[in-house]
Amino acid sequence: MKPEIEIIGISIKTFGVAFALGFICCGAVVARRLQELGKPVDWAYEVIFAALVGGLVGARGYYLIQNYSKVKHDLIGNAFSGSGLVWYGGAIGGAIAVLAWMRWRRALALWMLDLCAIALALGYAIGRIGCQVSGDGDYGIRSSLPWAMGYPHGTVPTPAGVEVQPTPIYETVAMALLAYALWRLRDRVRPGVVFAIYLVGSGLERFLVEFIRRNHEVLAGLTAPQLESVALCALGLVWLGTLLRRGGVGALLPAGG
């Protein structure tokens, strides 16, 4: 594990490097797709900036809410601390900011949601690389599997000699495959389908991986991320069902319609 690297005497967080790389890659994908659709490529910078600001605010805010009992003594200080980001909070905050940007640009349309879905899946996959390299505590439960590993030098270290499930690797692989599948589908299905599949796929991935992670159960034997994942899957399935009833999911409409 390598939580930090030093370059010419400057300490750089490896999670931050992966975080930045994720946004750069997402920006490149968004720009490519906008070009394909004949839309202004400059929009890529705007939408990524909106997602960055909204995501950071949402991720930090969600963390403060989840850990209120621990941070209530110094909310302001903890709000601007360098640690504590929650993916679902970032997704919610980023979504609100991007939807606001879409409305401002008069681009609030299904094709834009599809584009964001591809970027979200890719960004998540790259972000989990940062979790793995920094050992920030997103690893799983104790395991004796051949590929189990320890994180003794991580930001949130495992005890010496203890090996656990490397869940960040599982999530990177799963979400990278989902991003690739969504990209391949971009012109093969009608607008809205890619986003609906993203909701189902990302929700299912997180629901399953939670069984071997370390989060606490909150209801009916499920963790908070699992309950949120169930909601995502349900929304995606209802969305797909609606599209099927309205003429199927094939590319019946132009992708930019």
> pLDDT tens digits, residue range 156-184?
899 988 999 999 999 999 999 999 999 99
pLDDT score for 255: 45
**227 occurs within a structural domain:** no
**22 occurs within a structural domain:** yes
Query: 20 near 52, Cβ under 8 Å?
Result: no
Q: Structural domain of residue 124, as residue ranges?
A: 4-185
The phi and psi torsions of 12 (rounded to 5 degrees) equal -120, 130
The model's pLDDT over 74-127, given as tens digits with 9 standing for 90+, comes to 656 555 555 556 666 777 888 899 999 999 999 899 999 999 999 999 999 999
**How many CB atoms are located within 10 Å of the residue 20 CB?**
14
**168 occurs within a structural domain:** yes
The model's pLDDT over 25-36, given as tens digits with 9 standing for 90+, comes to 999 999 999 999
Single-letter code of the amino acid located at 137: G
DSSP letters for 152-172: TTSSSPPPTT--B--HHHHHH
**53 occurs within a structural domain:** yes
Residues in Cβ contact with 96 at an 8 Å cutoff, skipping those fewer than 6 apart: 54, 58
The sign one gets for the Cα dihedral 137, 223, 23, 76 is: negative
pLDDT score for 74: 64
CA 46, distance to chain mean position in Å, is: 19
* Domain total in the chain: 1
- 245 pLDDT exceeds 60? yes
**206 occurs within a structural domain:** no
